[in-house]
């Protein structure tokens, strides 16, 4: 829901910063993988309940996720780069609640499992439509510079980041936040299924 505004806000600074790795010969895919490896560091930090440290890794991962796209726009957007980016993004999204589950399984396990289950809904509806839209050459009217069709919803990347920040700042309320955000994810999934189905049927 908020991604279009967040992207407009950060695009200019990321474009300026992306000139540095581009001149150094660093590829967008290398930045994608490096950002993911940084994100992986959040898992042990969460397990040992170093939540502010985990938050630092999470924020760094998201910065690199934006930076790789800016570099790709300089070097040329590729299918393999888009595939790598979205795959590692979804793995990272599931890693964060999994870390909270491992940190405190007695109170976080069910809520964490529900949230990961919800991510399956948002992820599968997002990717399934992108595949079909690609076959029919349907382009997104909003996210024209994405490597695949980006179908929006109530919970997008920006909202997910806010959720993760709240997890780290209020870890004692993880379960409540996870239940609430997971429920919003299912609203997103339902609207994506409906919008995707009707769009493809009309096409």
Packed helices 79-103 and 105-135: angle between N→C axes, nearest 10 degrees: 170
Which positions are catalytic?
A: 89
Nearest CA-CA partner of 93 in 133, 131, 129, 65: 65
Q: Are 51 and 108 in contact (CB under 8 A)?
A: no
Q: d(Cα 13, Cα 109) in Å, to the nearest integer?
A: 39
Q: Which of 77, 72, 95 is nearest to 26 (CA)?
A: 72
- In Å, how far from its chain's centre is CA 173? 22
């Amino acid at each position: 829901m908020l991604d279009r505004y967040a992207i407009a806000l950060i695009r200019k600074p990321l474009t300026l910063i992306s000139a540095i790795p581009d001149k150094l010969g660093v590829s967008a895919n290398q930045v994608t993988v490096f950002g993911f490896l940084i994100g992986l560091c959040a898992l042990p930090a969460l397990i040992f309940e170093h939540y502010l440290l985990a938050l630092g890794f999470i924020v760094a991962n998201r910065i690199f996720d934006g930076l790789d796209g800016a570099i790709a726009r300089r070097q040329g957007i590729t299918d393999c780069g888009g595939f790598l980016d979205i795959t590692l993004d979804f793995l990272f999204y599931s890693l964060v609640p999994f870390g909270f589950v491992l940190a405190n399984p007695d109170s976080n396990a069910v809520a964490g499992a529900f949230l990961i289950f919800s991510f399956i809904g948002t992820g599968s509806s997002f990717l399934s439509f992108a595949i079909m839209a690609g076959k029919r050459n349907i382009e997104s009217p909003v996210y024209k510079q994405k490597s695949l069709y980006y179908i929006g919803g109530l919970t997008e990347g920006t909202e997910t980041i806010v959720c993760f920040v709240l997890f780290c700042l209020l870890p004692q309320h993880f379960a409540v936040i996870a239940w609430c955000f997971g429920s919003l994810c299912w609203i997103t999934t339902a609207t994506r299924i409906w919008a995707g189905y009707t769009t493809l049927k009309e096409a």
